[in-house]
């Protein structure tokens, strides 16, 4: 699927932008299905209306968040929930994202995620025996779509050796105004800064920083462990914006530092992401995301 210059670009920069990868009908199918999932979603209780911000991911680590690796869960934008916990706008404009197993559990997401052309791209960028691990539909809502702090995906989806690759699909146009991705070209050649781990599986003492008053019944479920104190590039100056039209695929190396800003515009910026790892790598039991069923090879039919 990728030509030599695109493959070279991926190895040089840690990412490659492929325009016109996903057609309008498929984008619309994903968008409609995402809105339907939001509409049909039943939180287990009022208190399980999980608010999500990757800027403070450890604070969002409720039991529901940890269980969502195996299911389909909706996370609210902090800006859509008032101090009493009431959602202040229509739900389809209040959700930050849906995660994290639509690629396995939902027929529309599954069909699009496992198309052979994506498996070919994975092979082109050197991912051997790819397994589809995690999916997210990100809404980046107008006016409130939150910042996603600068990070490396391998922090959250670690394997030994590191193998994770991100496949990011623009469902709508992504611009600086509506909070497009930004990336640090070549930043994938630096080391992994930190790990995000389950404290229970890591046998660790619950971390003080991940305990909060408003999350008192699930204290310290996760924590960050520092591997390398070198700071990640500082946004926006150290990164370049990836303004791309709807239909574009961006492939991201798992070590590439990337970031996205708040969406301050009146236009949403929907995106779908699928993260894959190699079946040849070891997946530790302390990763936050754990599955009770085997991962499906990328491109395999359900
Ligand atoms: Fe990411």
Question: Domains (ranges, CATH) in the chain?
Answer: 4-278 (2.60.120.620)
Tens-place pLDDT, residues 121-178? 999 999 999 999 999 999 999 999 989 999 999 999 999 999 999 999 999 999 999 9
Report in angstroms the alpha-carbon separations of 223 from 136, 212, 241, 255: 21, 13, 29, 19
The ranges of the chain with pLDDT < 70 are 44-62, 201-220
pLDDT for 210: 38
pLDDT for 207: 43
Residue 72: strand pairing partners: 100
The Å distance, Cα 258 to ligand 1 centre, comes to 7
Whole-prediction pTM: 0.90
Instruction: Please identify which residue in the block is written with the tokens 């790598």.
Output: 281
pLDDT for 68: 79
The Å distance, Cα 186 to ligand 1 centre, comes to 16
pLDDT for 45: 54
The Å distance, Cα 153 to ligand 1 centre, comes to 5
With vertex at residue 59, the alpha carbon angle to CA 72 and CA 39, rounded to the nearest 5 degrees, is: 30
The Å distance, Cα 209 to ligand 1 centre, comes to 22
- Judge whether 77 and 145 are in contact, CB under 8 Å: yes
Region of 167 (left: φ > 0; alpha: ψ -120 to 50; beta: rest) is beta
pLDDT for 109: 98
The Å distance, Cα 230 to ligand 1 centre, comes to 19
pLDDT for 61: 58
What is the number of other CB atoms lying within 10 angstroms of the CB of residue 161?
Answer: 10
Question: How far apart are the C-alpha atoms of 64 and 157, rounded to whole Å?
Answer: 18
pLDDT for 226: 95
- Judge whether 137 and 98 are in contact, CB under 8 Å: yes
The Å distance, Cα 151 to ligand 1 centre, comes to 6
With vertex at residue 115, the alpha carbon angle to CA 99 and CA 270, rounded to the nearest 5 degrees, is: 40
Report in angstroms the alpha-carbon separations of 94 from 77, 136, 236: 6, 16, 26
What is the number of other CB atoms lying within 10 angstroms of the CB of residue 109?
Answer: 24
- Closest by CA to 243, choosing from 224, 226, 265, is 265
pLDDT for 49: 54
pLDDT for 202: 55
Q: How far is CA 211 from the centre of its chain?
A: 23
pLDDT for 156: 95
The Å distance, Cα 84 to ligand 1 centre, comes to 30
Kindly state the DSSP code that residue 88 receives in the 8-state scheme: -
- Non-local CB neighbours of 283 within 8 Å, separated by 6+ positions: 159, 277
| Strand bridging mode 249-253 / 194-198 | unpaired
DSSP H stretches of helix in the chain: 4-13, 24-40, 63-67, 102-105, 107-113, 116-124, 153-156, 199-202
Q: End-to-end CA distance of the chain, in Å?
A: 23
Instruction: Please identify which residue in the block is written with the tokens 């395999």.
Output: 300
pLDDT for 44: 63
Instruction: Please identify which residue in the block is written with the tokens 């208190």.
Output: 47
């Amino acid at each position: 699927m990728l030509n030599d210059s695109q493959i070279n670009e991926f190895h040089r920069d840690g990412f490659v932008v492929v325009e016109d990868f996903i057609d309008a009908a498929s984008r619309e199918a994903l968008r409609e299905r995402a809105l339907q999932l939001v509409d049909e979603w039943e939180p287990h209780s009022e208190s399980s209306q999980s608010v999500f911000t990757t800027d403070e991911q450890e604070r969002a680590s409720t039991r529901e968040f940890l269980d969502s690796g195996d299911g389909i869960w909706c996370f609210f934008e902090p800006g859509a929930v008032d101090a009493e916990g009431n959602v202040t706008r229509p739900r389809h404009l209040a959700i930050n994202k849906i995660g994290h197993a639509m690629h396995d559990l939902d027929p529309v997401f599954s069909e699009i995620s496992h198309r052979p052309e994506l498996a070919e791209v994975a092979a082109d960028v050197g991912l051997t025996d790819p397994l589809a691990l995690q999916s997210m539909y990100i809404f980046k809502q107008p006016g409130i779509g939150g910042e996603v702090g600068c990070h490396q995906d391998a922090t959250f989806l670690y394997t030994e050796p590191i193998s994770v690759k991100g496949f990011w699909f623009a469902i709508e146009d992504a611009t600086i105004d509506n909070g497009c991705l930004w990336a640090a070209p070549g930043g994938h050649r630096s080391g992994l800064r930190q790990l995000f781990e389950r404290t229970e599986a890591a046998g660790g003492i619950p971390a003080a920083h991940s305990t909060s008053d408003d999350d008192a019944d699930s204290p310290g479920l996760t924590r960050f462990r520092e591997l390398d104190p070198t700071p990640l590039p500082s946004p926006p100056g150290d990164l370049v914006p990836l303004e791309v039209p709807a239909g574009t695929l961006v492939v991201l190396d798992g070590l590439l530092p990337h970031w996205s800003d708040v969406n301050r515009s009146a236009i949403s910026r929907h995106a779908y992401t699928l993260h894959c790892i190699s079946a040849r790598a070891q997946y530790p039991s302390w990763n936050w995301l754990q599955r009770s069923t085997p991962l499906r090879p990328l491109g395999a039919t359900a």
